[in-house]
Structure 1
């Protein structure tokens, strides 16, 4: 069960900021701890930036979820960019194609409880992450 998802189109740096703000407000609403709020906002910021920079823009959907035992936040990042040709390489700490720190995908995966990625070269990438209340 989940509440109505809120969607943000990501086409500029300002949209990445809007994603961060929305994720923070929903994380507070479902009562994630301050540490888990920070982890989720950090992961969301990194993945929203990847959507913009590597995916050429896309959308982010944020929703509160409830599995009957606990509440959480689920975020879906989707783009129609070039896709990721080598996922193993993309998850290697320190690997970057953009001159950044190279902690994007692997770092984001470590910050959330559930991480699912679907990608196809030439078709784009979809990443779904979930953070649950402890």
Structure 2
């Protein structure tokens, strides 16, 4: 059985964010750090080299594969901000229609800058994603 390559580490999310460039990406990431912590109620933890996660859950698939993963979080990548906020098995189109300019992955939201989105709607999306995830696999602080 293989293990997840993305796992929690002891690296400080605040220290990691001090290395983010350019300055605009860093300021958006610091704002997301506060927003995710406030909305989720979980402390930030680095997962892998560049993902800041909030809360975690244990999953077990029908195939027998199981592991632990972050419940919600984000990564300030060079090309855009990647938000891990949707479990991937629910339809969030009604909320996404109101969030603002974004691109969508299976369970990720890609945004260029925070000014492109409605932060109140983003909070709703994070809360909804966490509630849906928690209904399937209980979320905890880790």
Measured against the shorter chain, the TM-score band is: 0.3 to 0.5
TM-score by length of 1: 0.39
Higher relative contact order (CA 8 A, sep 6+): 1
TM-score (ref. length: structure 2): 0.38
